[in-house]
Amino acid sequence: EAQLVESGGGLVKPGGSLRLSCEGSGFTFSTYSMNWVRQAPGKGLEWVSSISSSSTYIYHADSVKGRFTISRDNAKNSLYLQMNSLRAEDTAVYYCARGTMGTYDYWGQGTLVTVSS
């Protein structure tokens, strides 16, 4: 069965940077579009970024455009999210999720990012 494992979360000061990683296993990673979805404490889900299987198409939500960059390395079965200029409102659990067109069929356990001074 497909598995996704995120890492890289932690505490960072406002204006700082962080890079999240997600390693996939149990499926052919290179053939699937991948996504990052976040959930602020006590709040709902928010789509963050998507990347097609070969990185041809990359999309970001307006709330993170210009600050976050999604990327992948299919040779390493890995997905990344480079987060720069972090703000308090970026505090959330960040999930890696497989899927396309707004359908996410497998999710990782999530990694918590806390932006605070």
- What are the residues binding another protein (CB under 8 A)? 35, 37, 44-47, 50, 57, 59, 61-62, 95, 101-105, 107-110
Nearer to another protein, 42 or 75 (CB): 42
Query: Given the DSSP bridges, would you call strands 45-51 and 58-60 parallel, antiparallel or unpaired?
Result: antiparallel
Nearer to another protein, 109 or 116 (CB): 109
89 three-class SS: helix
Nearer to another protein, 15 or 57 (CB): 57
Whether the CB-CB separation of 71 and 82 falls below 8 Å is answered with yes
Token pair for residue 78? 């890995």
Nearer to another protein, 12 or 20 (CB): 20
- The minimum distance between CB 15 and another protein, in angstroms, equals 26
Whether the CB-CB separation of 111 and 9 falls below 8 Å is answered with yes
- The minimum distance between CB 111 and another protein, in angstroms, equals 12
- The minimum distance between CB 75 and another protein, in angstroms, equals 26
What is the sign of the dihedral through the CA atoms of 42, 98, 68 and 62? negative
- The minimum distance between CB 16 and another protein, in angstroms, equals 27
Cα–Cα dist 59/48, whole Å: 8
